[in-house]
Amino acid sequence: MNTNTNIPNIPKEDFEFVGTDSYLHDKKLETKPIGYFRDAFNRFVRNKSSVAAAIIIMILVLYAIFVPMLCQTSYSRALTDTMYQQYSKLPPKMKLLAWAGVDGTSKVTINSNTYEAYRAKYVETGMNPIVKVYKANYEDPKAASENARYYDIKVDNYYNMGMMELTLTPDQYKDLQAYQSETGLQIIYPSVKTQSKDKNANIWYKVDTRGNPVLDEDGNFINDYRIASVNDKSYDSLRIASDTDPEQPYAYARVTGTSEVPSYIVRVSKYNYFIYRYGFEPSFNFGTTGNGFDIFTRLAAAARFSFLLAICVSAVNLTIGTIYGSVQGYYGGWVDMIMDRICDVLGGIPFSVVTVLFQLHLSKQVGVIGALIFAFVLTGWLGMAARVRMQFYRFKGQEYVLAARTLGASDKRVMFKHIFPNSLGTIITGVVLVIPGVIFSESSLTYLGIVNLESSTMTSVGTMLANARSFFTSYPYIIFFPCLFIALLEISFNLFGNGLRDAFNPSLRGVE
Amino acid sequence: MDDAKRANTTFRDYLRKAADWYRHAYRLRYTIKRVLLMLMVFFIIISICFILIKLLPSKPAEQFGKDKNMVEMRRKALGYDKPLAVQYLIFIQKSLLGGDWGMSEVRYLGSNVWDVFMEKMPATVMVNVYTMLFAVPLGLLLGIYAALKKNKWQDHVISTGVMVFVSVPSYVYAFLVQYFLCYKLQLFDFQIKSGRDFLSWSMFVSMIPAIISLGFGTIAGLARYTRAELTEVLTSEYLLLARTKGLSRSQTTVRHALRNSMVPIFPMILGEFIGIIGGSIIIEQIFGVPGVGALYIESITSTPPDYNMFLLLSAFYTIIGLASGIVVDLSYGFVDPRIRMGSTK
């Protein structure tokens, strides 16, 4: 051990550098280095269900981003249009999925009166609402009326919209006529002599007192159109096929108002009027709501709002929760205790109470959405803070922290440069799991009407559900798409979050 | 002299015993500490709620319109004329300590808020008790079965179902139940029947859709938790030891694994039992259950909001949340003697 320890005064010239001509270095790694995130990513990819969930989330996000931007039609943009009511409750119709039955048809059982009315629509306009008759003219033993006859048919709900009455100014009337002449599309149909009791614009034929059609010997409908005077030049456009007698032309409008400012009440085909007004044939991918809103674009707008809200809330929660949790976990002791009591108090307030109080106090100043975000933020960061605090307790006693502190790093530096990156995995998982929670709470609150976000330009999934609920037995598709959206979203976010957690922290796998 | 000495020693013995008892009664001490803490938290929360509500303009008074005198009288009757601090003191004395939460101002005009609240309680409790009665055993059984068949197809089916039912919001099942059971098959009515015979059979039948919709979430949550706990216990070493000693598989599962896995599960069930009094607002609304949840929604969506009712229900939901937390924490110690809550050792 004690060789060469006592040699005095070695001359400087005897010192010599070793190996000046070669470099000494570590052996180069032959494989690629795998960092923390790379490792987590590799583990994540192996989890098939989480990857599938991630893809579904991607699709939903793309739907929420791009549909409101690209798929808006002149119909879904005309938001304060009262015409909406006329096109309500239409079923989904998609060109791509027409083979699967998504073609705007539905199977119904109707009585013979209704069947005749459907047939009359076909005779007048040539658009046949009856696609297929499954079972014709049978007696239903369960029905209340004994001599009633029933039909099981497949009905095209788009062609079945029939007629409506519109009151037009002279200019609008002229414009409509010009469009008709130009395209050859019959929009205006002759007006009817007798007004039926319930002002049904579809009844263009003679009916008896009970509302049943009066047929001639061949079983055809007898028309009940008004006859205009030959001198009337206000209508100069397409005439329907049966309007052949030049001496007795049909009247295509009822004129009311003063002679200076006349207004024309016309019977128009809803289907063709839609083409005239909005420039495309009525066809709604997801159908329309009870108010006539296009579900496809409306739901996308709702989804976009939900995502934006969730991302805003989780970003704010992340910031507050991280700072709060770090301070709590890092300093510990009485600081931790006091801050924990604050958390106790905040955590004890039921969320619905917070929301209501914020709505009552703040919705005038910052708006309904602002108040909602405040409510989410007030208690939302508690979970994140608890998570971060736990991570800090875990890491703060470790050697590298001690080393950093010995080297003179400030508290702030130790907290955010050394400890925080280590707890990043847990935090990312936390953020991902916050998002479905926020969307769920938001939809519940709007469903219950505690928060009301409904307006002509905006809606939320919860409001769509609440509005669809009153007629969801007859029109289940109105409630189906919002339900499907929220169910898919919640499932895939939970799967995705679990996958992330397993990837970042393999030791937790299987612990739910 | 002797007597005095003896008396002295016995007294000292008592003291020592008391001290000993006190030292060992960590569970009681811990309980008391937690309850006091809970009351403090509750007090702070309800004070904040009270002040925030009283800061709002008094809508019930303003409905008298232009008649200044009437508005003034009404404000006086509602206690708005006094300073906030005085109102607060009156609130503590009358409501928190005296149990008088005032009159309803809107929907149940003139009736005592507490009476209306108690009248709504049975419906909520019954629906939730029925739910727990069928959901808890079913959830446990599914969880146990999945754990025993771990990584076989049965487990995969159950786990997938659990994942779906845990994630999907309860109102979605409620719609499905209403659509298929009530509308397509016409087995039940859409809403529960009116009347106050909450224990009768016909009432139970009309509650079934609500019970099913509420139960899905509980079953799924419990099954998931049970499966996770039980699989962990089943792979532990003492179970291997039990098997090597000659116990059969079913004996080890029932006597060792199940009992140990119940340690975290039982508190969870207990917490849910307390939570049931709170009920589910959204399910009550969908199925028309005349319960506390519906009352809560009514009190805030009516115009003007029913402040007294809202305050009482806020206090109720707050205390339910706090109490279930405490009961869960404390029950760990009772279920498993090894866990010493609040013990310094």
The pair of three-digit structure tokens given for residue A154, joined into one six-digit string: 């497949």
**Chain A residues within an 8 Å CB radius of B305:** 356, 360
Nearest to A491 among B163, B300, B301 (CB): B163
The model's confidence at residue B344, banded by pLDDT at 50, 70 and 90, is: very low
**Chain B residues within an 8 Å CB radius of A352:** 281, 296, 317
Residue A327 CB neighbours (<10 A): 19
pLDDT digits (tens, 9 = 90+) for B72-116: 776 677 677 777 888 888 888 888 888 888 888 777 777 888 888
Look at the alpha carbons of A441, A442, A443, A447 in this order and tell me if their dihedral is positive or negative: positive
Residue A512 is predicted with a pLDDT of: 42
CA-nearest residue of chain B to A469?
B175
B56 interfacial to chain A (CB closer than 8 Å): yes
Q: Which domains does chain A have, with CATH numbers?
A: 98-160 (no CATH), 162-278 (no CATH), 295-508 (1.10.3720.10)
Grouping H, G, I as helix, E, B as strand and the rest as coil, residue A151 is: strand
| Min Cα–Cα distance to chain B from A402, Å | 28
Assign domain B113-335 one CATH number from 3.90.1150.10, 3.30.470.10, 2.160.10.10, 1.10.3720.10.
Answer: 1.10.3720.10
**Chain A residues within an 8 Å CB radius of B227:** 512
**Amino acid identity at A102:** V
DSSP H or E segment with residue A450? none
Residue A5 is predicted with a pLDDT of: 63
Residue B7 is predicted with a pLDDT of: 64
Q: Do B53 and A440 touch (CB under 8 A)?
A: no
The model's confidence at residue B4, banded by pLDDT at 50, 70 and 90, is: low
Most distant CA atoms of chain B, gap in Å = 93
The model's confidence at residue B138, banded by pLDDT at 50, 70 and 90, is: very high
Tell whether the model's pLDDT for residue B137 goes beyond 90: yes
Contact criterion met (CB below 8 Å) for A271 and A93: no
Residue B345 is predicted with a pLDDT of: 41
Q: What are phi and psi of A507, to 5 degrees?
A: -70, -15
| Min Cα–Cα distance to chain B from A103, Å | 23
Say whether the peptide bond before residue B304 is cis (omega within 30 degrees of 0): yes
Tell whether the model's pLDDT for residue B217 goes beyond 80: yes
Q: CA A458, CA A480: separation in Å to the nearest integer?
A: 19
Average pLDDT for B137-164: 91
Q: CA A429, CA A435: separation in Å to the nearest integer?
A: 10
Residue A56 is predicted with a pLDDT of: 94
Grouping H, G, I as helix, E, B as strand and the rest as coil, residue B248 is: coil
What is the ipTM, given to two decimal places?
0.82
Q: CA A138, CA A152: separation in Å to the nearest integer?
A: 9
Contact criterion met (CB below 8 Å) for B80 and B102: no
Start-to-end Cα distance in chain A? 59
Residue A510 is predicted with a pLDDT of: 46
The pair of three-digit structure tokens given for residue B134, joined into one six-digit string: 């069928």
> Which positions of chain A have pLDDT values less than 70?
1-6, 19-20, 22-25, 77-81, 141-146, 194-199, 506-512
Residue A146 is predicted with a pLDDT of: 66
B181 interfacial to chain A (CB closer than 8 Å): no
pLDDT digits (tens, 9 = 90+) for B21-69: 776 677 778 888 889 989 999 999 999 998 888 888 766 556 666 667 7
Residue A164 is predicted with a pLDDT of: 84
Q: CA A100, CA A508: separation in Å to the nearest integer?
A: 43
Residue A73 is predicted with a pLDDT of: 76
Q: Do B225 and A512 touch (CB under 8 A)?
A: yes
CA-nearest residue of chain B to A340?
B41
Start-to-end Cα distance in chain B? 42
DSSP H or E segment with residue A272? helix A270-278
Q: What is the DSSP string of A306-319?
A: HHHHHHHHHHHHHH
